[in-house]
Chain A
């Protein structure tokens, strides 16, 4: 313990506008677990797209999964990103996991940049994932069971994660409303301490 150590009760406070702490481990661990599952599924599909395995498991749509993973849409994405789209998806889910684990249980106040980075990874990813699944049906004309599973997980992650991101945005807005100084908001965003920010942090 260093001289300036926090204890847990000081960190675990309710973040306005919620009556709970969206940065608590109880809130974050389920997100990390779900992201971890999606990471494994997407990695498995990436192994197929890299042809490190010869087939992909699909209990519902059978060989349609392979049509989706080998489709023109998928090939176009590979041309853009140089790596298979499911590998990119796997990295994005891993990002959700890593950014979900980083930060204290009061990170919505102390590390806004990290929470917003986490939100940027979770929320647009969820939307992209859902759009890609819709494109399977409309453009490719085939469905891929595991892709649908990961898309559902993506949307669940959005539902689980948005509260923390919202707390952070409202907190930054309160800091701006109190100080009207963009440099203060900038410093608070990057996790520098501020007396003004601390005063408005818990005021709903």
Chain B
């Protein structure tokens, strides 16, 4: 990997290491939001959210545009898409479902063994 790509990867990983920033990304996967809107559900100050936004922006994960006095944020193309999130949600739900099903099937087999 060339040093430049390595540096970019480091920035991405650092940006994703923080739970608030991951939550901001998850919120943005549902659509564009202003800094105020992003600050609302997280119970943290607007300056703190602005710092997180700067880190995400420098990592290339989100982009901001200017709209009057506001600077709404959205996910950068190719970053966390809503489709990725949906598929991950599905994977997680099914993984848990089928682990439970494994247990049910194992119990059924045990009961059958005992009978025979």
Query: Is chain B found bound to chain A in the same assembly?
Result: no
Q: Which residues of A contact B (CB under 8 A)?
A: none
